[in-house]
A and B are shown apart, each in its own frame.
Chain A
Amino acid sequence: MPELDRRDFLKLVGAGAGAAAAAGCSEPVHKLIPYVIQPETITPGIPVYYASTCRECPAACGIHVKTREGRPIKLEGNPAHPVNQGALCARGQASIGRTYHPDRFAGPMQRGADGTLAPISWDQALDLLAGKLRDGAGKAWIVGADRGPTANDVIDRFVAGAGLGGRIVYEPFAPESLRAATQAVFGVDAEPLFDLSKADLVISFGGDVLETGSAPAEHARQLAEARDVAAKEHGGARFVYVGPRLSMTAGNADEWIVAKPGTEGILALALAKAAIAAGAGSESGRAAIAELAGGIDAATAAARTGVDAKTIERLGAALAKAKAPLALPPSAGLTSARAVATAGAVLALNQLLGAVGNTLQIPASGSAKGASYKELLALVDAMKSGQVSVLLVHDADPLHSMPASSGFGEALAKVPFVVSFASSIDQTSNVAQLVLPDLTALESWGDAAPRAGVRSLQQPTIAGLFDGRALPDVLLETGRKISADVAAKLPAGDFRSVLETAWSDTAWRDALARGGVFTEVAAAGTPGLAGGLAKLEVAEPRLDGDGPFTLLAHPSPLLYDGRGANLPWLQEVPDPVSKITWQSWAELGIEAAAKLGVVTGDVVVVETGTGRAELPAWVRGGLRDDVVAIAVGQGHTVGRYASKENDGRPGEIRGVNVTALLPTLTDEAGGRAWLCTTAKVTPAGRKERVAFAQYTDNKRKRDLGETVTLASLLGAAGHGEAAAAGHDGAHEGGHGAHHEIKLPYDEADDAAEGALHRWGMAIDLDRCTGCSACVAACYIENNIPVVGEEQVLRGRIQSWLRIERFVTEGEVDFKGGRPARESHESLGNVDVRHSPMLCQQCGAAPCEPVCPVIATYHNHEGLNGMVYNRCIGTRYCANNCPYKVRKFNWYDYDLKMFPEPLPLMLNPDVTVRGQGVMEKCTFCVQRIELARQGAKNEKRAIRDGEVTTACAQACPTHAITFGNMKDAESVVAKKSGDEKRGYHALHSLNTRPAVTYLAKVTRGSVEG
């Protein structure tokens, strides 16, 4: 035997120890359980994809459901779907967890005399419901979100057949005011469609289209297309944002006009007047503006909106000059008592500028019945006076999302029989007499028709995990139980056959395979102005109370209206703006906070006429000092993750439900007004730890989140000089005027000689909006554990990919310890840089040489490998990583945070890491290996575009490109070779990263 070296000696010792241990206990028995009948389409180990529709919000994006051995494990956008074209937002990514949620009801439940829910059979439950409906004819109502045309039709026929009072569509952020405005201005009862891709100047009047608008993934893609610096002349479209708060959308604008909340309509009309003065508009358009604007002009508007007259004139002239301008109406957070007039003013501005028929389409005919807040409030009144005997609630949690001041809670208590169709527990089902658990979107049939030309199908990809039944099937069966009369008025068969009949005009199997039927719709043309315009009165909205602050209750980009709050990934993915997780916070302007004597983390009391809330402050420069902003979505009393139940504190509320602070105010047409009250803010005199995922927006002038000015980019000649002038101040100090953002080396060199690939990535910061779809996709793809609030507070957030948000170049500040969070934002400043940070797969990786067990190493294709089974948890690598992308498993997180049946959604191609092991981004090596096997089987090379990472796949704007750097023709190699914009993060460290960032382009303010 040759001489033993140290390694071999250790192995021998280890083997002896193993044998001793093995003698002491027997091996666990592992079972191999094959199918009874193996479905033809399933080969264990090979994924099967089904096309379906995402039901998280009304946008109805198309999805591909990846299933393994019959279990959905990942959702990806459907590239053939016209709305999202392959992308899927964070909410869509996380929605897969609804199916496997541990809070799901096991079956139908009835509330007993003692107030607790007890199981009941479906037969009994439906008999009970049928009986109640038989007795309560005309006094029963059904409330819920839009469920798609076919299911809506079944509900309507049930309502008519069984003699219910009616169906009310409830969607808390429904753009009712916009629809009413379109009716008033153009005479069409429908929501207009925006096409940002055609625009050369977009001005958003508080429309947060990139985060919570009518189709965020679509609008983000369109805006990125319009602003593509490589394809468009002069840097592409300019984007101006008007509003009180630097929202995620605002952070992507070229210019932020800090108008008083609620005055967007006045500003729109002033801009229209200024545009007319600069020669814009047709006769009719001018007349319409004159009619609507009355005495509003730049000077008066300046006083009323807080925007100076010069800016108004400059922007008006820019709008007049633009070839394809587009004005976007406010999103839900800024809908006020004057919301219809505001939206009307914005639509009239579009009409004046010739946007209608070009960047903005008015549908030819009205849409189906939409949400109606007015009807719902009338129902609440009827409930209060005891006129409602049965209330059916589906796809909504009104007890959480309705303003407490509407009295919905008391009204609900007066309804003797409340039926909830929630699939897992929410606040409404928590008080319902009968719970008939619905199937999730991945378990049931359905369809959606978000607009003309788009008919999207939703198909089940797994049998119901629990004893649930789909809402339309329950209604059909209940109808048959009520009486033969009712049954005769309902369609025959189950909902699947009803759906198939409704789609009988299409090739059903083909539609199933494609995800729906998508047709080109001819542009609707430009409708004339309708008479309703004159009735709109554009003015400051009425706000309740006389507090010094206006309360801005805006939709949360991740939790939306609160429907995402019980999905742990959406709680843990940091808010794109504040980077706060798991909590509620009150945003305060710097000066306002100084006056109150409050700093970030100090608890403040926000008090309105209808309620009060205590929550920690986040002091930032990106908010008007007369506004306090709180995101909607937290404040749940039930739900494992939505409340604090999973933290071992059941019954405790997580965060603050802002709807408790809101009076019940409506716009002119009866739609919900979210901007409705003033508030008093006082310090509570105590502090709370805020679960920030990023503690500072100061980039300390390092090579992170770089920008480059458009001027330097366009100045093709004299590259060095232009770059020096163009690059922000960061480099002027240290490097002198000759600093260039250029690639110091060729990434392709970092693979071994003869290797076919050097995997690399290009991230275009000019396209990144900060939406965090990639972060959520990474969580789901790579089985990343959610760690919870307490662990986030300890800085142990486990995400492999984070979006760093920096504001301006920052300043060099080496104060020891964790810095107090100081905002680098300031009013009107939009220098926000979103920079995705992930393992850079360095060519000269600092983590590798410090690992004592070679658990991390450099492979021949340039990947920085991480071998979990070798790792002994010294954490030296994480300490030595300058990018801080390595994460340590302090616990077996899945035991606490991932109860059954959530583990069913784990990706079987990715090892679940245990306690004591380091982990990090792998460039989705499981996807690379899958492509490699496919290519090897076919005896060919991996094609460009064949492998893509989960983050790149999810990105709505295609900001991330992944591929082979050794192939000079690959898209990623070409993008990474951008000499003007390409840079490496912290390049002075010479870590030779495989990730090339393309600097964000600053386009400057809009010229008149």
Chain B
Amino acid sequence: MSRHAPRPSQLVLFALFTLVSALVLGLPAGDSVRAQQAESSAAAKEAQRLAADPNAPGPIQPIPFSHKLHAGQFQIECLYCHSGTDKSRMAGVPSVESCMGCHSQFGGDLEGVQKLQEHWKTQTPIEWVQIHRLPEHVKFRHNRHVAAGLDCQTCHGPVQELHKLYLVPDTKWVNGMPAEKLKMGWCMDCHWSKNASTDCLTCHH
């Protein structure tokens, strides 16, 4: 789980804000009323610029999404968008619809959100570039690692501090050997130290 799990009060406030703004502004939803939305903060604009920074490490994503803004500043819980990660072996990646849950209301003046709204309008999926990838012969189970109480950051790095995501390098020394992040020695080090299964068949079948 994220270290930055929002307090319940924050979620309630967030929901209330959504509701009130919808009522006050009389927003039905959708992009037709983008003009009436409040202008995004300078921080949001800056976050978007940095998320698309070609000089920063990591691939350019189709939409300049900033994890630092969402998970860091807004403190939205990881599982809020990546739902199902605690239930399935595969991590949930948010659908366009779930992004639009908020962004039909906010950020319509940002280029990235406009791209998102275009995806929604044309009902086409977003093709993200995968950053954390295991080979096909590894059957990693997200749900078991969430259940074991591991932070998402353990493998995915300090995403709440990154505007543009990349595979933050981490190399452990395992038995006197360097073990690169997401390589088998790196996994094994943790499995050994936490007394988790080290049977080959647990992950390879």
Contact = CB atoms under 8 A, between A and B. Distances in A.
Contact of B129 (A32, A36, A45): A32
A506 interface: no
Interface string B76-117: 000000001001111011111110000000000000000000
B7 interface: no
A870 B199 CA distance: 14
B204 A38 contact: no
B129 A29 contact: yes
Nearest to B99: A34
Contact of B87 (A31, A43, A868): A43
B135 A933 contact: no
B124 A8 contact: no
Given A860-B199, A909-B139, A936-B144, A868 B204 contact: yes
Nearest to B141: A933
Given A865-B199, A936-B144, A34 B124 contact: no
A859 interface: yes
Interface stretch (A631-639, A793-801, A921-929): A921-929
A911 B140 CA distance: 12
Given A2-B176, A36-B120, A869-B137, A43 B84 contact: yes
A114 to B, nearest CB: 38
A201 B178 CA distance: 72
B128 A32 contact: yes
Contact of A30 (B129, B142, B176): B129
A925 B201 contact: yes
Contacts of A869: 135, 137, 204
A31 B130 contact: yes
A11 B92 CA distance: 34
Contacts of B97: 35-38
A36 B87 contact: no
Contacts of A45: 84, 88-90, 142
A912 B141 contact: no
A870 B92 CA distance: 30
Contact of B199 (A1, A8, A36, A859): A859
B143 interface: yes
Given A45-B89, A929-B139, A933-B141, A33 B128 contact: yes
Contacts of A863: 201
Interface string B165-205: 00000000001111000000000000000000001111011
Interface residues of B, number: 43
Interface in B132-160: 133, 135-137, 139, 141-144, 147
B119 interface: yes
B126 A33 contact: yes
Interface in A680-739: none
B54 interface: no
Contacts of B124: 36
A46 B87 contact: yes
A912 B95 CA distance: 28
A910 interface: yes
A929 B94 contact: no
A344 B204 CA distance: 59
Interface residues of A, number: 42
A986 B175 CA distance: 43
Contact of A865 (B125, B128, B176, B201): B201
Given A8-B177, A936-B144, A29 B59 contact: yes
A909 B136 CA distance: 10
Given A32-B128, A43-B84, A868 B139 contact: no
Nearest to A35: B95
Contacts of A34: 93-96, 125-126, 128
A868 B200 CA distance: 10
Contacts of B136: 911-912
A910 B98 CA distance: 30
A926 B139 contact: yes
A43 B86 CA distance: 11
A36 B96 contact: yes
Given A30-B130, A936-B144, A35 B125 contact: yes
A27 B136 CA distance: 15
B84 A44 contact: yes
A470 B143 CA distance: 40
A2 B84 CA distance: 43
A31 B205 contact: no
Contacts of B176: 1-2, 4, 8
Contact of A911 (B89, B123, B125, B204): B204
Contacts of A910: 205
Given A11-B177, A35-B125, A45-B89, 14 more contacts: A34-B94, A36-B97, A43-B92, A46-B87, A860-B199, A861-B199, A863-B201, A865-B199, A865-B204, A868-B137, A869-B135, A911-B137, A925-B201, A937-B143
12 contacts: A2-B175, A34-B128, A35-B97, A37-B95, A37-B123, A43-B84, A43-B87, A857-B200, A861-B199, A867-B201, A909-B139, A933-B141
Interface of A: 1-2, 4, 8, 11-12, 15, 29-38, 43-46, 857, 859-861, 863, 865, 867-870, 909-912, 922, 925-926, 929, 933, 936-937
